[in-house]
């Protein structure tokens, strides 16, 4: 059984400005997995009208953060240690969906991946590492 629900994760997104201002919404969760919707917002366009790369990277980072919480709970304080991004395409004026999953949950590090899609078209692939922070 999951330690958190989609409703729990959406409440977490609503509780923090860095996620709330982007309108991110959890649409699916599984054990070590999370999928979020990223609405299209014109203010995220680069010159030329394509969606800025930082939107994909932010979505991947947040989706992975939430995927970890499905394994370690809402109070987990893990933070991003590294992220590598491959841009596979570009999109104009469309919402995105980002799927993340935990590949290995270690004592000190959490490894995983995320992908962002426009419809069914892959836009980005990310490898993500989080450091597990100890309380104190």
Q: Which pair of tokens denotes residue 37?
A: 């919707």
Residue 133 makes CB contacts below 8 A (sequence gap 6+) with 77, 78, 79
Average pLDDT, the chain: 95
Spatial CA neighbour of 114 closest among 48, 69, 58: 58
Length of the chain: 136
Q: If we measure between CA atoms, which residue out of 131, 135, 119, 134 comes closest to residue 65?
A: 131
Mean pLDDT (whole number) for 2-15: 93
The two tokens of residue 79 are 């933070």
pLDDT digits (tens, 9 = 90+) for 22-75: 999 999 999 999 999 999 999 999 999 999 999 999 999 999 999 999 999 999
Q: Report the alpha-carbon distance of residue 90 to residue 87 in Å, rounded.
A: 8
Output the pLDDT for position 3.
77
Average pLDDT for residues 128-133, to the nearest whole number?
96
> Which has more pLDDT, 130 or 133?
130
pLDDT-derived band at 1 (thresholds 50, 70, 90) equals low
% of the chain residues with pLDDT over 90? 92
Checking if the pLDDT of 130 tops 70, the result is yes
Task: Encode pLDDT of 63-107 as tens digits.
Answer: 999 999 999 999 999 999 999 999 999 999 999 999 999 999 999
**What is the structure's pLDDT at 134?**
78
Q: If you classify domain 6-131 with CATH, what class do you get?
A: alpha beta
Q: Look at residue 126 in the predicted model and tell me its pLDDT.
A: 98
Helix axes 6-15, 53-72, angle to 10 degrees: 130
């Amino acid at each position: 059984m999951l330690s958190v629900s989609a409703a729990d994760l959406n409440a977490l997104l609503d509780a923090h400005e860095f996620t709330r201002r982007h309108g991110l919404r959890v649409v699916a969760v599984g054990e070590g997995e999370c999928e979020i919707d990223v609405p299209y917002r014109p203010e995220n366009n680069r010159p030329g009208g394509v969606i800025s790369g930082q939107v994909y990277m932010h979505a991947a980072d947040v989706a992975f953060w939430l995927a970890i919480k499905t394994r370690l709970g809402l109070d987990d304080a893990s933070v991003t240690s590294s992220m590598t991004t491959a841009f596979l395409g570009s999109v104009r004026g469309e919402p995105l969906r980002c799927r993340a999953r935990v590949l290995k949950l270690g004592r000190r590090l959490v490894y995983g991946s995320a992908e962002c899609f426009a419809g069914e078209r892959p836009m980005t692939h990310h490898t993500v590492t989080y450091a597990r922070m100890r309380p104190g």
